[in-house]
Every structure is written in C-alpha cells, then in structure tokens.
Amino acid sequence: MSSDRRECWLFDLDGVVWLDDRPIPGAADAIARLVSTGRRAAYFTNNSFPCRSDHLDKLRRFGLAPQDADLLSSAEAAAQLCDPGERALVLGGPGIVEALRDRGVDARDASADVGDAVDVVLVGIDPGLDAERLARATRAVGRGARLVGTNDDPTFPTPAGPLPGGGAILAAVAYATGVTPVVAGKPHAPSVALTRRRLGTPAVVVGDRPSTDGALARGLGSRFALVHSGVTPAHHGPLDPAPDVEAADVADLVELLLAGRG
C-alpha cells in the first residue's frame, strides 16, 4: 500500500478532466487548487488504448503535475491477471500491449497472425477495429484462450457524442464464442485491488458514470462524487449507486467540497 498519507481524491479522466483532446473548462485549475491544500490527486482511467506516457503527457499539457504512481488504468489491472511468460493476443491499443510487456507477457496485437499458441485474449477499446482482427481474437478464444476485458463500458464519451466503448467490443467476442470474460477495470475486483495497493482508500472517487466510478467507490468504501460533464446528464433518473454529491463539473465539485457544502 502507498506510504503517501495525504487525503487522496481519485479522478476519472474521460468525461471528467477532458473529452477526447479537449480539456473540460476549469477541471485542471480545480485539481491544482485541491493539491495546493495538501491533498493528493490520482487518476484511474478505463481507457486502455493510450500508453501511460500519453496519459501523463496529456495531463501535464493540460496544466497538471502527476507523478507516474498517480496514474492507474484498466490496462494495468488487466495485465495483473496474466502470468509472466504467457502469450497474449490484444484486441485493443498500445496501452494494453505496454502493460502486458511490463508484466513480462509476450503480447502481440491482433493484426498479427500468431497461430494457435495463445494463452489469453485481452480486449479493450479499439478505434481501428476491423473484421480480421476481431476474427483472430474470436478464433483464439474458441481454441481455448482465456478472455479478459480491460473494461465493460458500453460507450466512450467524446465532444461529438458517445462512441462504442471497450465493453461493446468485448461483448462481440463473448457472444461469438459463448465465453464469459473476466473484466479487470472499474469497478471490478482487479481494479479495487490495484487501487488499494497503490493508493489505500481514497477519500473521494470522482467520475461521470455511476456503474463504474460509483461502484468502484462503493467497493473501496470511498465517497462517490458524480460530475455531469461526461456520460451522465444533470437531469437524470435514479442512479445505482446513488452519488454522495453531484456537481456540474470538477470545478464546481471542488468549490463545493472545499467549502464544506457537499
């Protein structure tokens, strides 16, 4: 567990800090203000496509100063479900390949024909998805490879509206093979274990999706703060889990909680 004893706030990224390559107004300044009060800001993204350096560089480009240990991802959680020396086929992005190789796994993208000797297939969001890559992943699972999803998010928020998420692609492989996947990202057990190991118990989990960020908060015993800048609009119906506090965006949330009004 982390030796950093500062109160930690754990932020989602997509729909919370940014939308695609657009920063959400006020988010970075608000997080910097939070850090200036002696608290720690950390980040957990279910977006498994980018490499760690891409996420960290983007946070820095938007005005934040994360350390490497402040970033957690569903790709990292998924890699923990594989053993060093295993052979993995990746239907996803370079972030999954990177996390697997850091784990000592022989990881190959599904664009390559790796033959029959595949121990595990990892699926994540994949903007370049095509029929041949999907078929290779499906065939490998059909031949006995384990099926692991980095996350099961149905959609991915962008400024132009939602795109099919990693969960939609995972569902295609699962349906085609009849195999139930193990899912690593928020809010599933591997993500809870990764967060506890790295951060302990965050005081607040900030996100835009109750089914992932909210459920992770409940699994950790943290407060769940919902912001309306991503997939969940302000005028919503009942939510499960219900947030402990809601705000329009991170800027409003930090103002609310630091003032003791949430």
Return the amino acid letter for 46: N
Alpha-carbon span 48 to 71, nearest angstrom: 12
* pLDDT tens sequence across 181-203: 999 999 999 999 999 999 999 99
- Sign of the CA dihedral with 93 first, then 95, 99, and 101 last: positive
**Do 199 and 2 meet the contact criterion of CB atoms below 8 Å apart?**
yes
* pLDDT tens sequence across 127-143: 889 999 999 999 999 99
Alpha helix (H) residue ranges in the chain: 27-36, 52-61, 74-79, 94-102, 131-142, 166-177, 189-199, 215-220, 250-258
Q: Which of 4, 14, 102, 126 is catalytic?
A: 14
Record the tokens describing residue 145, joined without a space. 């490879």
Q: Which of 4, 12, 29, 249 is catalytic?
A: 12
In angstroms, the Cα distances linking 247 to 133, 148, 207 are 40, 34, 11
pLDDT score recorded for residue 125? 94
Residue 102 appears among annotated catalytic residues: no
CATH of 81-183, one of 3.10.50.40, 2.40.30.10, 3.40.50.1000, 3.30.1330.10: 3.40.50.1000
Query: Where do the CATH 3.40.50.1000 domains begin and end in the chain?
Result: 8-75+186-258, 81-183
DSSP character for 165? Answer: -
pLDDT in tens, the chain (262 residues): 566 788 999 999 999 999 989 999 999 999 999 999 999 999 999 999 999 999 999 999 999 999 999 999 999 999 999 999 999 999 999 999 999 999 999 999 998 877 668 999 999 999 889 999 999 999 999 999 999 999 999 988 888 888 889 999 999 999 999 999 999 999 999 999 999 999 999 999 999 999 999 999 999 999 999 999 999 999 999 999 999 999 999 999 999 988 887 6
Alpha-carbon span 185 to 221, nearest angstrom: 17
pLDDT score recorded for residue 188? 98
Taking each continuous run of H as one helix and of E as one strand, the counts in the chain are 9, 15
Task: Specify the CATH number of the domain 8-75+186-258.
Answer: 3.40.50.1000
Record the tokens describing residue 226, joined without a space. 């919902």
Residue 12 appears among annotated catalytic residues: yes
- CA 150 from centroid of its chain's CA atoms: 8
- CA 196 from centroid of its chain's CA atoms: 15
DSSP character for 100? Answer: H
Record the tokens describing residue 93, joined without a space. 């992005």
pLDDT score recorded for residue 161? 83
Alpha-carbon span 122 to 136, nearest angstrom: 12
